[in-house]
Structure 1
């Protein structure tokens, strides 16, 4: 590799993730959109893949407004970053874990909404570090966990509970 990420680059990339989380979790469109390159792509379990600022903003606005009970009170937490520079200077792939926690305002409870991994491509080709592409791998089934070891768990059949006497 001809170039290396500096400590400052690494901090700026972590700040990029923070600005992204603050923007999407508080429905701050300007902050959220400032984290994407103009031609960025966004690949997400529920929304699918979208490309460019207009499509990403429409996608976020749908989340914020169409499913507000799903979104209001959320915090996206990203951590355990592995940053791997690409061959071309100013291009980097970032892997991380994520957790989404949420304060459910109707019931005044906190819960974990989801967890998973991300593989993102970031670049500083337009100035500050921004997302060129995001790939969100939300774990909703066992085969989505990127386990590298031998899987020794034995799947046991799911048994339905026996009916309770007097109940239908």
Structure 2
């Protein structure tokens, strides 16, 4: 199935708003920013997420302790396919999630990849996720993690932080 350029042009703002919503989701979970995450979902959404099924507030209550127990996380989103039907849209987007987890024997890196199968709804000129199913297509768990005491390529760096301590909250304004 292909989409004509005329149709894409007429839907361009909606498509971009949907992509931005996906990016707000990634930033919200990685920075543990509940308000940013809330801006990506409708309050009455249903999220089916790796064994969890529930609404937005239940998802925050379930996911933030899990993500907060990790030292760092980074979610990348790409290959976004969108099909708009009036004020509803279907989107499939690929994710690649990098997680530094704390285990009893030390730290481990876990990488997961898969797809978000989303139903978006446009309400009051705003697109948000109304329903999500997470499909995990691939993962890899490493026995260890990087040694931050040695720095990246021998250059000492500080890892990014979480809300509100991450430098982005001082330098950028997404309000």
Q: TM-score with structure 1 length normalisation? A: 0.67
Contact 2:116 2:135 in 1 (8 A): yes
Q: Give CA deviations for 1:41-85 in whole Å, capped at 9, x if unaligned.
A: 110114x2112x3212212333234xx13xx31111111111012
> Map of 1:140-155 to 2, 5 A cutoff?
none
Q: Show structure 1 runs of 5+ residues with no match.
A: 142-168
How many residue pairs end up in the alignment?
A: 129
Partner of 2:74: 75
Q: Matches of 1:133 and 1:57 in 2, distance apart?
A: 15
Pairing 1:137–2:142 present: no
Contact 1:99 1:112 in 2 (8 A): no
Quick one: which of 55, 58, 67 aligns to 2:58? 55
Contact 1:100 1:114 in 2 (8 A): yes
Larger Rg: 1
Q: Show structure 2 runs of 5+ residues with no match.
A: 1-6, 140-175
Partner of 2:15: 10
Partner of 1:102: 99
Identify the structure with the greater strand proportion: 2
Pairing 1:121–2:145 present: no
Partner of 1:163: none
Partner of 2:67: 64
- Secondary structure (helix, strand or coil) at the match of 1:123 reads strand
Contact 2:24 2:36 in 1 (8 A): yes
Displacement of 1:126 in angstroms is 4.4
Contact 2:29 2:64 in 1 (8 A): no
Q: TM-score with structure 2 length normalisation? A: 0.64
Quick one: which of 26, 36, 39 aligns to 1:21? 26
